[in-house]
Amino acid sequence: MARVRGFRRSGEARETAPEHSMDPRAAEQPPYRPTVIDNAIYQDGERVDNPGSLADAFERLKDMPGSMAWIGLYRPKEWELVKLAEEFELHELALEDAIVGSQRPKADRYGDTLFVVLRAARYLDDVEEVAFGEVHVFVGPNFVITVRHAEAPDLQAVRKRMESEPDLLRQGPQAVLYAILDAVVDGYAPVVAGLQKDIEEIEVQVFGGDPSVSRRVYELSGEVIEFQRATSPLVGMIHGFIAGARKYGVNDELQSYLRDVADHAITVAERISAFRQMLQNILVVNSTLVTQAQNAEMARMTEASIQQGEEVKKISAWAAILFAPTLVGTIYGMNFDFMPETHWAFGYPFAILLMAVVCLVLYVVFKRRDWL
């Protein structure tokens, strides 16, 4: 049985990987029962054996030349992956990525083994979020190992499809990788449709003057950006597979399938880029509409303030005019003995005339200044 470089068997001195130790201690290991969803041996496009363990699958491959093992694991333990790496001579760096998880989509080749990280996605319309699933695929000369950390993608459906197409399955591990890529990229279509629907709803809200739309746009923009990060590396990755097809024995038929997946990935990438631009434009439009509404409200308030000012000026002018005769009348109403006008024969006409003149002068002044 081959050993993985950089990892020691239980009982040997432990080594520490860059991120954290990936070698379990013997005392902590439970019985070796890997989280295997399916473990099968295929030959000439047909399932011929169902090994009971990963070690058995490795032995069957040696005993059956020209066969292929396809092993699917779901959320395996760290020590299970270490054991798997020992059986199939997986590179320590690829194993470290599979253990740590949360990797960006990528494809790395280590000798005869290709390590691929894919991020599947599904759209949760009720909360307007994109839920991501991560799958790691080890593709060797005669084996495919998938390590899934979430419900998506449904690799059992991929296996059923391949088993129903023996001519395609007969083409080996590269064909299985194509089928997984195809399933992941096809799974993006409902996400794109969900995002498109939400953007259309947001446009209606924006032009309907909904004040809560800005928050919705901001949150959806975050989902679009995260989705773009998951999908944009796929185009270059698949083109890389096509460029190296001859070197790694991928026939013309499988290359045409890969080109079809690449076309779909390009379409998704373009749509997501367009969504991001649309959301930015929507934010600009919403900001413009909000500014226009605020300006209109300020103009209305200014007009109301001006009207109130005009009313205040009129009231103030009439108050000043009416105050003049009140002041004269108040002064002469004191009836002191030493007020000469009170004993003057023309005192009363003079007071009336004085009131009238003062009022007239004030009226003329206020009228000229447009207060009346």
pLDDT of 22 > 60? The answer is: no
pLDDT of 268 > 90? The answer is: yes
pTM of the model: 0.70
What is the percentage of the chain residues whose pLDDT exceeds 70? Answer: 89
Neighbours of 136 (CB within 10 A): 22
CA distance 62 to 54: 13
pLDDT of 266 > 90? The answer is: yes
Residues in CB range of 286: below 8 A, 6 or more apart: 206, 213, 214, 217
Nearest in space to 72 (alpha carbons), one of 168, 163, 167, 164:
163
Domain ranges of the chain: 1-165, 307-368
Q: What pLDDT is stored for residue 186 in this prediction?
A: 92
pLDDT of 19 > 70? The answer is: no
What class has domain 307-368?
A: mainly alpha
Structure tokens at 180: 């997984």
What is the percentage of the chain residues whose pLDDT exceeds 90? Answer: 20
CA distance 339 to 139: 121
Q: What is the DSSP letter of 244?
A: T
pLDDT of 5 > 50? The answer is: no
Q: What pLDDT is stored for residue 146 in this prediction?
A: 92
Judged on CB neighbours under 10 Å (0-12, 13-18, 19+), 281 is exposed
Q: Are strands 113-124 and 106-110 parallel, antiparallel or unpaired?
A: antiparallel
- Tell me which of 17-21, 51-55, 101-105, 181-185 is least confident: 17-21
Task: Please say whether the beta carbons of 2 and 86 come within 8 A.
Answer: yes
pLDDT digits (tens, 9 = 90+) for 81-102: 888 888 888 898 888 888 887 7
Q: What is the mean pLDDT of residues 290-306?
A: 77
Q: What pLDDT is stored for residue 145 in this prediction?
A: 92
DSSP string, 299-356: HHHHHHHHHHHHHHHHHHHHHHHHHHHHHHHHHHTT--TT-GGGG-TTHHHHHHHHHH
pLDDT of 332 > 80? The answer is: no
Q: What pLDDT is stored for residue 10 in this prediction?
A: 35
Write the CA distances from 191 to 122, 167, 228, 232, integer angstroms.
6, 31, 11, 15
Structure tokens at 366: 């206020």
CA distance 316 to 311: 8
Superfamily grouping for domain 1-165: CorA soluble domain-like (3.30.460.20)
Amino acid at 345: A
Q: What pLDDT is stored for residue 272 in this prediction?
A: 92
Q: What is the DSSP letter of 279?
A: H
Q: Are strands 106-110 and 143-148 parallel, antiparallel or unpaired?
A: unpaired
CA distance 57 to 111: 21
H/E element holding 137? strand 129-139
Confidence of residue 216 (pLDDT cuts 50, 70, 90): confident
